[in-house]
A and B are shown apart, each in its own frame.
Chain A
Amino acid sequence: MLTDLTDTTTGDIRAALAKTQGEMGGPATGVVLNLIIVTDESGQHDAVRAASQAGREHPCRVLAVIARDPRAASRLDAELRSGEGTPGQTVLLRLYGPMSEHADSVIMPLLVPDTPVVTWWHGVIPAVPAAQPLGELAQRRVTDAARAKAPAEALAALSAGYQPGDTDFSWTRATPWRSLLAATVDQEPYPITGGVVQAEEHNPTAELLTAWLGGRLNAPFVREISTGPGVTEVRLQTTGGDIVISRPDGRVATLTRPGQPDRHVALHRRDIAELLAEELRRLDPDEVYGEALAGVTGIPAIAG
């Protein structure tokens, strides 16, 4: 169901939300979180679609904040969506003029009470997400350095401004690699003395992976550049020979260990909805990300 409210107020939006809830069969919609998406007109479609897919796993009230012409007079337009095969509700909020500087005042009355808040910047990454009014509201702040024009700089900026509760999709993208690596090291009796992470240029996931491996294993890890896609290889050097996980096609990885047959495992790259769903699973600070991010600065990139 779609409801359009032009030049409206948060009070009217609340009333409209209550009304659609009533028509959907009472207030028991079981929304587990509020998801604020900071986006623009060009990005809102993809972002909201990802949110509603992730919403199947985490029913949420999606509040998409779309900044419009800042020189216009202050005005609020809202578009309410509910039903459409996903639980929860979606509200697209278009903020015109000076109001766009005060998005938090629009958002606050629309949050479901007693329910956690996550803010996702789909697009421009603020220098210090936690210092943003919409970031202060949230216990979890999600960015995506890979979408920035200069991902390495973006990651460095996030590192400088890191506050517990921050997270970035480039870290989420590392999870399948990290679980495969952890499982590999589970089976490894020999100490790991160093290694290599190979990925395409401008890949913040590879930077985080390199920093994480180096920090956790307390061994030198080198970042090499390949043609991609994404991360293409991780090599662990041990006193018993090299272990290599390579994924040249972005889909299937081959695990090579000395003295053992090659093993294949599906390691596909995930879409934004899956990444978001993973992010929304945990709402407490991700300290391991914080540590990896702190280790990112100053990794030398060597052409592979």
Chain B
Amino acid sequence: MKPNPLRDPRDRRIPRLAGPCVLVLFGVTGDLATKKLLPAIYDLANRGLLPAGFSLVGFARRDWADADFAHITHDAVKAYARTPFREDVWNQLSEGIRFVSGEFADDAAFDDLAQTVADLDTVRGTGGNYAFYLSVPPNAFPVVVRQLKRSGLSSPPPPSPATRGMQPWRRVVIEKPFGHDLASARELNAMLDAVFPASAVFRIDHYLGKETVQNLLAMRFANELFEPIWNRSFVDHVQITMAEDIGIGGRAGYYDGIGAARDVIQNHLLQLLALTAMEEPLSFAAESLRAEKEKALAAVQIPADLAVGTARGQYAAGWQGGLPVRGYLEEDGIAPDSSTETYAALRLTIDNRRWAGVPFYLRTGKRLPTRMTEIAVIFQRAPHLPFDATDTRELGQNALVIRVQPDEGITLRFGSKVPGSAMEVRDVNMDFAYGESFTESSPEAYERLLLDVLVGDPPLFPRQEEVELSWKILDPIEEYWATHDKPEQYPAGTQGPESADELIARDGRVWRRL
């Protein structure tokens, strides 16, 4: 394909736009679909980023007509879209909304689906380009993928006059969890691999669609200020945290037996670690970026003694944000003797020249005091302080904190003189808040990721190798936990189990307050 003369790298007003296509959404009745995916599709349309003729097909067990699904979408858009509601945009979008009713095991339903998308090609000119978004529980992946193959939906036909000589594409989007250990991740991949080429599989980790996470790359590699000190000579340690204030809510069926480490550390936190620790990529092309992330993940070492280098906990009844809440074992659908952890902390090291000897502490938990995700790079103390010891008693370590959510931004903490006649140095913060400096309408993570899928742009999607490397880190820890004591109880609304505090205190450090 020759380059498009209307596109020019200097012309950055013209956005990347997907070509004509259909998005087929499995699992339209889920929370993710109504709160995130459907509104994100509307927002993309409203920003003019969806192609003319774009069509959306919902697939679920409900006995719905097209109009019912359009109605559900309309309500979801009205309630959760980030951009204003425009009748014209909605009308164009809703013309392309279809619904196919059926079970995943039902051949007829998938034949019906194949017919529906073929009709859309004829009526709306979607050119045989389909993206299948599997917003369904992982145990449904195999049957859906098998059905896509059986019905011929997974393999694109050759170019034809109806596609004006363009090669149609097929893509599949899957959500975490990508397996529950290395073996199952490989199994899932083998199953996908048999049907879709690796380049057609998009694994969504919505954290990677967040502006702050992409900004981590900009901050590290576009500036002269940070990279020179981004190493063992200056960094004391790194804390990567994802704290949630909620419990498991209605997710008992999914969560029990999975736990915090598999749910959060394996994907989100290890991805954040890889982006924080990796070397500079040759470019921001998918290949280069993934190569560096994989090198960082491959260099990760787990603690030699898992008894002291890991910690896990389970929330007990307590008070969270002024309300009494149940403990994990009392939640609906959870066995009273469940040993699933709702809190996990790890001390990892990275064996390379840049990071040798710098611990990376990862922690995640539910029913903690606040909801927040951050990467905190804590610097060493100044080698010499030319002050009286009492002058700097309130001076901590310098820190650079990348706040991923909520309140996306960056905080730099350093010492400053307290105004007055005495020399007294205390920690102060310098703050960069996204919401203040840039648009309030910055795209939602799912908007960015959906657009990348439709355009076929893969840098923000982890590849199978990264998934496997993450499981290689986590598997020995999970095995150790499975054969040892139960997780330690921590009262809901507190900072987590004591064993986690001890884990970091052994190194003479403390967790950042949540």
Contacts and interface: CB of A to CB of B under 8 A. Distances in A.
Interface of A: 28-30, 32, 56-59, 87, 172, 175-176, 178-183, 185-189, 213, 216-218, 240, 251-253, 255, 257, 259-268, 278, 282, 286-288
Contacts of B10: 287-288
Contact of A175 (B14, B20, B124): B14
Chain A to chain B: the 6 pairs with minimum beta-carbon distance, closest first: A30-B436, A263-B53, A263-B52, A265-B52, A183-B17, A57-B439
Given A30-B436, A189-B164, A257-B164, A266 B14 contact: no
Interface stretch (B86-94, B206-214, B245-253, B369-377): B86-94
A135 B182 CA distance: 61
B161 A259 contact: yes
Contacts of B389: none
Interface stretch (B1-9, B256-264, B335-343, B378-386): B1-9
B13 A216 contact: no
A116 to B, nearest CB: 12
Given A28-B436, A29-B436, A185-B6, A240 B164 contact: yes
B20 A268 contact: no
Task: Determine the interface band of chain B, counting residues with CB < 8 A from chain A.
Answer: 35 or more
A183 B164 CA distance: 14
A257 B437 CA distance: 43
B321 interface: no
B157 interface: no
B8 A268 contact: no
A178 B20 contact: no
Contacts of B138: none
A297 to B, nearest CB: 21
Contact of B166 (A30, A172, A175, A187): A187
Given A251-B88, A255-B52, A263-B125, A182 B7 contact: yes
A268 B86 contact: yes
Contact of A182 (B4, B89, B162, B439): B4
B162 A260 contact: yes
B419 interface: no
Contacts of B224: none
A288 B8 contact: yes
A186 B3 CA distance: 8
Given A57-B440, A252-B92, A255-B52, A266 B19 contact: no
Contact of A187 (B20, B124, B437, B438): B20
A51 to B, nearest CB: 15
Contacts of A278: 13
B4 A56 contact: no
B228 interface: no
Most B-side CB within 10 Å, residue of A216, A261, A262, A287: A261
Interface in B1-52: 1, 4-8, 10-15, 17, 19-20, 45, 48, 51-52
Contacts of A172: 13
A176 B95 CA distance: 21
Contacts of B124: 261, 263
Contact of B125 (A216, A257, A282): A257
A32 B20 CA distance: 37
A287 B12 CA distance: 10
A29 B436 CA distance: 7
Contacts of B86: 266, 268
B52 A180 contact: yes
B390 interface: no
B188 to A, nearest CB: 33
A178 B1 CA distance: 20
A227 to B, nearest CB: 21
A58 B439 contact: yes
B122 interface: yes
24 contacts: A28-B436, A30-B436, A30-B437, A56-B441, A57-B439, A57-B441, A179-B17, A182-B14, A183-B19, A185-B4, A187-B20, A187-B166, A189-B166, A213-B6, A218-B5, A251-B88, A252-B88, A255-B52, A259-B161, A259-B162, A260-B164, A261-B122, A263-B53, A263-B124
